[in-house]
Amino acid sequence: MVTPAVSLADVRRSYRDGAHRVDALAGVTVDFPPGSFTAIMGPSGSGKSTLLHCAAGLDRPTSGTVTVGGTDLGTLDETALTRLRRDRVGFVFQAFNLVSALTAAQNVTLPARLAGRSVSPAALAAALDAVGLTDRAGHRPSQLSGGEQQRVAIARALFSRPAVLFADEPTGALDSRTSRQVLRLLRDLVDEHGQTIVMVTHDPLAATTADEVLMLADGRLVDRLTEVTAESIAARMAALELSC
């Protein structure tokens, strides 16, 4: 039996809002198989980002279990959790979060250098090649397009060969043409390199890149779409928003 890249079992995350309790996640159970591409969608406030943060070890659930590659995150202290995020999880966000004074290659290797790890030239070359930026390694962010900057961010996330890559609105700051290029790159990483990707998005067209779309509402998993067309996703989203 194949161990899921990431698994959530009855995960709940509650917050206090004055005298009231807010259930951002209300018992989510889901597995993300290795080599899969999953999009997470839902109305505003449905728990999309909270699910991603708990799955990635950026936030601890109130209850339930999160495992990454078979490791129960709840058993880890903060030091061990930080090490797991550094070594086994990759992150790509809407903001590229690149250091302007560094070249593309230096941005890719920065987290490893900050962690005091040696940098493999072969691993750096492989990460840049995977995102098609071998010839832009010496360029600084100001010399790169928005799409190229996001590809540097993806290469940085891939540099540690993570078990799973989490992407939070990775095309939100890009124009439509560049968004398509970045999404094709993510799809290729799954198909050609067996990367596992979990992506939060509000865009039905972006979600069609995935193998499966999870729909959240009020902190609950309410639907799983495997027939992913922009029309079917948009219709389901519209129905959820009307019911909220």
- pLDDT attached to residue 244: 66
89-93 vs 6-17, strand pairing mode: unpaired
Burial class (CB in 10 A: 0-12, 13-18, 19+), 57: buried
Rounded-to-integer distance, Cα 74 and Cα 65, Å = 7
- pLDDT attached to residue 227: 82
Which residue has tokens 């729909």? 215
Residue 21 is encoded by which pair of tokens? 């309790």
- pLDDT attached to residue 240: 86
First-to-final CA distance of the chain: 38
- pLDDT attached to residue 86: 87
Question: H or E stretch including 80?
Answer: helix 78-88
Separation in Å, CA 81 to CA 13, 60, 122, 154, 220: 18, 10, 27, 21, 26
Question: H or E stretch including 15?
Answer: strand 6-17
Domains in the chain, CATH or no CATH each? 34-47+77-243 (3.40.50.300)
Contact, 195 vs 127, CB < 8 A?
no
Separation in Å, CA 216 to CA 39, 43, 195: 11, 8, 24
Contact, 182 vs 163, CB < 8 A?
no
Reported pTM: 0.91
Contact, 50 vs 24, CB < 8 A?
yes
- pLDDT attached to residue 160: 82
**Concatenated DSSP letters of 51-78:** HHHHHTTSS--SEEEEEETTEEGGG--H
- pLDDT attached to residue 156: 93
Taking alpha carbons only, the member of 129, 135, 203, 123 closest to residue 162 is 123
- pLDDT attached to residue 56: 94
pLDDT profile of the chain (244 residues), mean per 10: 93 88 94 96 93 95 96 95 91 92 96 87 92 94 95 91 92 90 93 95 94 95 90 89 77
- pLDDT attached to residue 134: 94
- The full length of the chain comes to 244
Contact, 166 vs 132, CB < 8 A?
no
- pLDDT attached to residue 46: 93
